[in-house]
């Protein structure tokens, strides 16, 4: 048997990323960098054509922005192209050249799976460990990006490879349960307009930044229109001339960039969370807790649940927080069980706005069925 050189443990699975692509966030940052580069290039041309001034600093900044955009797109690709993932008897290891990141298999609290929209049989596996809350609050996770059959990889990590069927994102979650596993409770968050109300520091901060960008974009628009009128009327620049077109295009691109970023922040803070709530489904089986939201899934063994906390939400609804247990750690800081009620961009072990909170709490407090050995 092959053994890992770091821990000397038997290797049970090893692979490399099968799909390498930039994330949506990285692509958004690259677009911002490219647009900023194009805007700066427009103004450098104006400085060179009209003012006959020093345009090299602007040209250099445009080149730097374009290089930054390419780096954001290609940097992760170069790193992942050399990446290697290893699962041993006791650890999960991600190797990025000379850098190694590890996590103990028994310390993993739950996993998130992100299916790739363009490759239904591939995606990312994010392994999360429960950490203390309060002064020691931190985040400990390991992400295996672009692996083939991510649910199969998670089955290997949790020691249930012989029980987990093969499948992809095109198969419903209920058809990818372990052998002998069945659903005992299912629900969806009740849909109400409250789901579009911001909650938590993150969303209010995003809205504050969006408001500042809207104000800044409005001031740039008013100032740009005034400047264009002056260069045309007082400066005598024809409307159909090339310099005027470059100036107008640069000003318009700046305004659109500011408004575009602001609209994206509003979408991320309000619309996205409310929209995805309608596509969220909660499943409790005789062995696990499963949460699905479009191409994102959360898988949690019920044996990791230490306690269940019900929080009234109004209108007869409750949020059900799952307090997780693990080696030298109890409770997930992001679970909301200790006051962290802010919504995040990713799934967490919380049932939001459910009606049968008492029923699911009673089920989760009962002893789950013991998983079979792999």
More confident residue, 328 or 365: 365
Asked if residue 273 has pLDDT above 60, the reply is yes
The pLDDT mean for the chain works out to 83
Contacts of residue 194, Cβ cutoff 8 Å, sequence gap at least 6: none
Give me the mean pLDDT over the 55-70 stretch. 91
Q: Map tokens 């009606």 to a residue.
A: 355
Of the candidates 323, 357, 319, 360, the one whose C-alpha atom is nearest the C-alpha of residue 341 is 319
Of the candidates 299, 355, 322, the one whose C-alpha atom is nearest the C-alpha of residue 187 is 355
> Residue 326 has what pLDDT?
66
Give me the mean pLDDT over the 3-9 stretch. 73
> Residue 339 has what pLDDT?
41
> Residue 371 has what pLDDT?
53
How far CA 18 is from CA of 12, 37, 231, 346, in Å, comes to: 18, 32, 55, 23
More confident residue, 134 or 235: 235
> Residue 340 has what pLDDT?
47
How far CA 64 is from CA of 35, 56, 164, 223, 252, in Å, comes to: 12, 12, 49, 27, 22
> Residue 163 has what pLDDT?
78
How far CA 7 is from CA of 88, 91, 103, 141, in Å, comes to: 9, 9, 12, 19
> Residue 48 has what pLDDT?
84
> Residue 137 has what pLDDT?
53
Band the pLDDT of 373: cuts 50, 70, 90: very low
Band the pLDDT of 175: cuts 50, 70, 90: confident
Band the pLDDT of 374: cuts 50, 70, 90: very low
Domains of the chain, residue spans: 1-89, 98-191+278-365, 196-272
Instruction: Please tell me the pTM assigned to this model.
Output: 0.81
> Residue 139 has what pLDDT?
60
Give me the mean pLDDT over the 213-226 stretch. 91
> Residue 274 has what pLDDT?
75
Q: Which two tokens stand for residue 247?
A: 């100036």
**Helices and strands (DSSP H and E) totals, the chain:** 7, 15
Band the pLDDT of 344: cuts 50, 70, 90: low
Spatial contact of 216 and 258, defined as CB atoms under 8 Å apart: yes
Question: What does the pLDDT look like over 119-165, one tens digit per residue?
Answer: 888 999 999 887 655 444 556 789 999 999 899 999 999 988 887 77
Give the least confident one: 24-28, 203-207, 297-301, 311-315: 311-315
> Residue 328 has what pLDDT?
57
Question: What does the pLDDT look like over 94-110, one tens digit per residue?
Answer: 999 888 999 999 888 89
Question: What does the pLDDT look like over 284-340, one tens digit per residue?
Answer: 999 999 999 888 999 999 988 888 888 888 778 888 888 887 665 555 444 444 444
> Residue 62 has what pLDDT?
92
Asked if residue 231 has pLDDT above 50, the reply is yes
């Amino acid at each position: 048997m092959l053994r890992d050189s770091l821990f000397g443990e038997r290797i049970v699975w090893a692979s490399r990323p099968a799909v390498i692509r930039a994330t949506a966030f990285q692509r958004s940052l690259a677009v911002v960098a490219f647009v900023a580069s194009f805007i700066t290039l427009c103004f450098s041309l104006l400085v060179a054509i009209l003012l006959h001034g020093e345009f090299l600093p602007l040209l250099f900044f445009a080149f730097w922005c374009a290089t930054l955009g390419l780096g954001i797109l290609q940097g992760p690709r170069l790193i992942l192209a050399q990446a290697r993932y290893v699962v041993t008897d006791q650890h999960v290891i991600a190797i990025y050249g000379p850098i190694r990141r590890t996590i103990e298999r028994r310390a993993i609290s739950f996993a998130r799976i992100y299916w790739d929209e363009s490759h239904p049989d591939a995606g990312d596996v994010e392994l999360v460990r429960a950490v203390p809350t309060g002064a020691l609050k931190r985040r400990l996770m390991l992400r295996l990006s672009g692996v083939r059959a991510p649910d199969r990889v998670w089955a290997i990590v949790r020691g249930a490879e012989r029980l987990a069927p093969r499948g992809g994102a095109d198969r419903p979650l209920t058809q990818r349960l372990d052998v002998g596993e069945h659903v005992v409770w299912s629900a969806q968050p009740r849909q109400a307009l409250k789901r579009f109300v911001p909650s938590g520091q993150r969303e209010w901060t995003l809205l504050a930044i969006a408001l500042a960008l809207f104000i800044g974009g409005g001031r740039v628009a008013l100032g740009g229109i005034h400047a264009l009128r002056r260069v045309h009327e007082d400066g005598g620049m024809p409307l159909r001339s090339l310099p005027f077109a470059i100036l107008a295009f640069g000003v318009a691109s700046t305004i659109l960039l500011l408004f575009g970023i602001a609209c994206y922040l509003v979408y991320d803070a309000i619309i996205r969370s409310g929209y995805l709530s309608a596509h969220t489904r909660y499943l409790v089986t005789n062995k696990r807790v499963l949460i699905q939201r479009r191409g994102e899934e959360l898988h949690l063994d019920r044996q990791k649940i230490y306690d269940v906390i019900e929080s009234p939400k109004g209108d007869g609804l409750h949020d059900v927080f799952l307090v997780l247990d693990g080696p030298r750690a109890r409770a997930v800081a992001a679970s909301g069980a200790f006051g962290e009620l802010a919504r995040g961009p990713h799934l967490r072990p919380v049932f939001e706005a459910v009606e049968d909170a008492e029923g699911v709490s009673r089920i989760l407090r009962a002893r789950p069925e013991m998983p079979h050995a792999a």
